[in-house]
Structure 1
Amino acid sequence: MTWLQVIVLSVVQGLTEFLPVSSSGHLRIVSEMFWDNDAGASFTAVIQLGTELAVLVYFAPMIWQILTGWFRGVVNKQHRGQDYRMGWMVIAGSLPIGVIGLLFKDAIRDGLRNLWITASMLILFSLVFIIAERTGKKTRSFEELTMKDAIIMGLCQCLALIPGVSRSGGTISGGLFLGLDREVATRFSFLLAIPAVLASGLFSLPDAFSPTAGQAATGLQLLGGTAIAFVIGYASIAWLLKFVGNHSFEWFAAYRIPVGVIVMILLATGVLQPL
């Protein structure tokens, strides 16, 4: 990979990781459009560590509170409050994507990266956003989250393994269908992504240097890309949390659908290649 490619893709990662527009889908499209090549799922997984570090820093007080509450509850039954339950909810909600990611890792790194699939998911999953926004009650608070909510949102997170769906889009839509407030669903989506993204990035690190599919990157390029993704990702979190307080996710559907249509036209005319 060239440094220009690393910088551009890292900026795209930082901008799109937390927005429900699919960062993996955008990285796949930009790679093919400008470099006629797929950077690869392993490169994507590694630079996601930068955006996930942004989550750790931005939500550090909340994460620390949940961690300490969970450990206190494990040691002493008298301290099993909301933070203890939240810790278990994050763990339980993270398990589905870990299991499915390992079982289908070859398909994720190869077959599912077909741009026809990416474009189709950009369009089709936008309809899910619209339905979730219009049918979800959006009344339940953070304190009302249950283990059932966590598991359902965790299953929805598995859809993000398909480029074009969006990790945040899948989990937030699941939360809206469950009646959660839009900001509550968004915040829990961020927490739910931490174990999955960290595990995926660390697991993919060796393959990023000598990928079985995609392009190889040097250690310095991976470090630089991760740093860029962190800075831009941190700003994206702040913007999204302000946005969802007063705006519908249908705005993102209005962006995703034209992008999906454009990609399909470029594929049909041979400007872009599906693989």
Structure 2
Amino acid sequence: MALTHLLILALIQGVTEFLPISSSGHLILLPNLTGMADQGQALDVAVHVGTLFAVILYFWSDVRVVIAGLGRLIKGRIDTQGAFWALSLIIATVPVILFGLALNLSGYNDLLRSTAVIGWTMLVFGIVLYWADQTGTAEKRAAHWGLKDAVIMGLCQAIALIPGTSRSGITITAGRKLGYDRESAARLSMLMSIPTIMASGLLLGLDVVQAADMSIARDAGIAAVFAFLAALVALTLMMRLLKSVSFTPYVIYRVILGVILLVIAYT
């Protein structure tokens, strides 16, 4: 695959994975609207791995706490913040795994990859994000994350398997409506992405390994590096901006893109 194509894919995935504007929706739109060849599962896995390493690096202090807590959780001890977070992350990841398997086995996964679906989800969930951000309180911090909130955010994360919804967008929406401040809602959303990306990468990777060759491996490596760098920059900018800016700019982008896609889809 041409280097420019790899760069475009990596930039789209890296920038949109953690912003509330839907990475999967943008990746589907690229071949739908430009006529470019579909990148295939190997590159999907590669760019997801790149963004995975970016979020782990950026939130390493939190990840380290969760890893330590996971060890205590395995021993049956839920007596630290890390152990409680580890349990909450597991609970929040179960719905997306079950819903993802159901979509794959039923064949509905492919039916949802249309410009019209992405247009509607961009528009509707963008408006919902604005509503939650404007009406949600800010009395909770990430340290207050409880099992009930993990279940709610986990169920919302499963809905994000519908292209255009945005995994980060809908979990941030849930977090804001549950009373978390903007930075904490985004922080929890990013932590939730780690086991989710791992699970989706493993699911896709099992199919990729059987058909992999050296050219695919080379392209995948290049795409992963580009996606890692793009995701790290996007994460850094978003987390800094959240100290002074709301989610409204992302909402405006979603609404405009959604309307454009619906016009294209229905004309």
Return the TM-score normalized by structure 1.
Answer: 0.88
Correspondence list, 1:1-275, <5 A: 1-40=1-40, 43-72=43-72, 74-75=74-75, 77=77, 80-105=79-104, 107=107, 109-208=109-208, 218-269=216-267
In 2, the alpha carbon distance for the partners of 1:150 and 1:135 equals 20
**Compared with structure 1, are the counterparts of its residues 153 and 267 closer, same or farther at alpha carbon in structure 2 (3 Å cutoff)?**
same
Tell which deviates more after alignment, 57-66 or 86-95: 57-66
SS in 1 for 2:160: helix
Residues 17 and 23 in structure 2, CA contact (< 8 A), matched pair in contact too: yes
CA deviation vs aligned residue, 1:69-100 (integer Å, no higher than 9, x gap): 331354374x7122211110111111110111
In 2, the alpha carbon distance for the partners of 1:34 and 1:206 equals 29
SS in 2 for 1:18: coil
Residue type at the aligned position of 1:32: N
CA deviation vs aligned residue, 1:25-48 (integer Å, no higher than 9, x gap): 111112222235543566434421
Tell me the number of residue pairs that the alignment of Structure 1 and Structure 2 aligns.
263
Tell which deviates more after alignment, 244-253 or 228-237: 244-253
Residues 94 and 195 in structure 1, CA contact (< 8 A), matched pair in contact too: yes
Deviation, structure 1 residue 124: 0.8
Q: Gaps spanning 5+ residues in structure 2: where?
A: none
**Compared with structure 1, are the counterparts of its residues 76 and 118 closer, same or farther at alpha carbon in structure 2 (3 Å cutoff)?**
closer
Deviation, structure 1 residue 162: 0.9
**Compared with structure 1, are the counterparts of its residues 73 and 163 closer, same or farther at alpha carbon in structure 2 (3 Å cutoff)?**
closer
Tell which deviates more after alignment, 129-138 or 2-11: 2-11
Residues 24 and 164 in structure 1, CA contact (< 8 A), matched pair in contact too: yes
In 1, the alpha carbon distance for the partners of 2:22 and 2:76 equals 41
SS in 2 for 1:246: coil
Residues 123 and 256 in structure 1, CA contact (< 8 A), matched pair in contact too: yes
Residue type at the aligned position of 2:203: F
RMSD (Å), alpha carbons: 2.1
In 2, the alpha carbon distance for the partners of 1:201 and 1:169 equals 20
SS in 2 for 1:161: coil
In 1, the alpha carbon distance for the partners of 2:184 and 2:229 equals 24
Residues 138 and 181 in structure 2, CA contact (< 8 A), matched pair in contact too: yes
Deviation, structure 1 residue 193: 1.1
Residues 10 and 227 in structure 2, CA contact (< 8 A), matched pair in contact too: yes
Residue type at the aligned position of 2:149: D
Residues 93 and 153 in structure 1, CA contact (< 8 A), matched pair in contact too: yes
